Structure 1
Amino acid sequence: MSKWALITGASGEIGSAIAKTLAKEGYHLYLHYFQNQKGIETLLQELEEFNQEYIPIQADLSKEDGMDRIAESIFQLDALVFCAGKELNKLLIDTNRVEIDFSVHLHLSSPIKVTQALLPKLYKQGKGSIVFIASIWGEIGAAVETVYSAVKGGQIAFAKALSKEVARSGIRVNVVSPGVIQTRMNEFLTEEEKADLEYEIALGRMGTPEEVGDAVAFLLSEKASYITGEVLKVNGGLFT
């Protein structure tokens, strides 16, 4: 029986890694993206080897009509992975209200509303799995990332609450919480800052997008059939 998963933010480095891992596991994919047309085109080319079906969905999740577009584009659904996001590196005192509203809507309001719109499709299946890609900062907080920490913490709280609400319907809800991952998001760091960060990580290195993808695949699989409401830390021992 065919399995379909929606990945939001699929054109990013972590989203693309998740897509390739799930395609390898036999999933057909709805691939959401916003502005990164080149990224989604590259991903579609890379996914050809897995011989599944792929449906790209362009939508701005910071707007109501973007969320509606996603909901209207989904037919069969077995898994939902929320990976769309944008880091906000600013002192709170320097962060304007537009930036705060954008971050809250993109990371918290839209995942809640998209989940609400798509839950009936999971209920219809009688089973399913939802995974949020949160952040270590949503667990422990980070200076200069106060708003980002808050919205990622909100994702974790929502996932824990939802897991209790939908468990008897056969739906599991979990969180993958990455630490420092080798992506363009960390390009602003100097080599010295990267070395200092890696020194703080127990395993002595940054993680890879593929390692996040493997964690997502595990939580979606039957191997995690008795796991719900959990936060799977993928941080190399930076925080335990």
Structure 2
Amino acid sequence: MKLIIVAGPPSAGKTAVIRQILRHLPEKSAAYLKIDVIYATEDEEIASEFGIPARKVISGDLCPDHAGIMVLSDALLWAGKEGAEYLIVESAGLCLRCTPYTTESLGIAVLSAIGGTHSPYKMAPMIALADAAVVTRIDLVSQAEKEVFREGIRDVAPDIEIIETNAMVGTGMRYLMKMIDALHEITDAAGITLRGSPPLGVCTVCVGKKQIGWNNHFGVVRRLDSAGSLFRGE
């Protein structure tokens, strides 16, 4: 099986890119997993359109990127039982600090060209650890804006493969398909790990404490006038 992980901010066009990938793959060769927080219908749409096994995980109170990491080994087993040659995982795309890419996968960051020329810097880890940056909606910006956007991506990840597309019609996607064709199958599912380190620690906001102000919290905390993080207590 080959593992493809698609990340990116909300409404960047992740599902549109996945549809183009599925049109390229052999019929009914893939399984699809959608990670979201409260509500998602992409799994039903993909299953209906392509006739492939599809599931979703609603993370609820758990960070969606963390939920995706926790269920990935189960998802690989599920996709294997379904006879899938590819597992495509679509992240919720909410936390721009966590990155869901793993070893033995193709990591794809989907970015919208209309998100602003500074947006690559705001989601640096999501881009820096990816294999490919797919820039969507390029038909809605000028050539100058495209070039500035591309340079922003290059600043964050100098060696990343940049693919510009109108994902609704699939222009430029042949370059991504070549990367998928060249992707190696998983050799050791039990040995798969995250590519990068998750954010430092868990603070008391994460576990549900509602008070405001750093002095009411423990763990890795931050003050308004501090240059870095501060650790308080156990």
Query: Larger Rg: 1 or 2?
Result: 2
TM-score range, shorter chain: 0.3 to 0.5
Structure 2 length normalisation: TM-score? Answer: 0.46
Structure 1 length normalisation: TM-score? Answer: 0.45
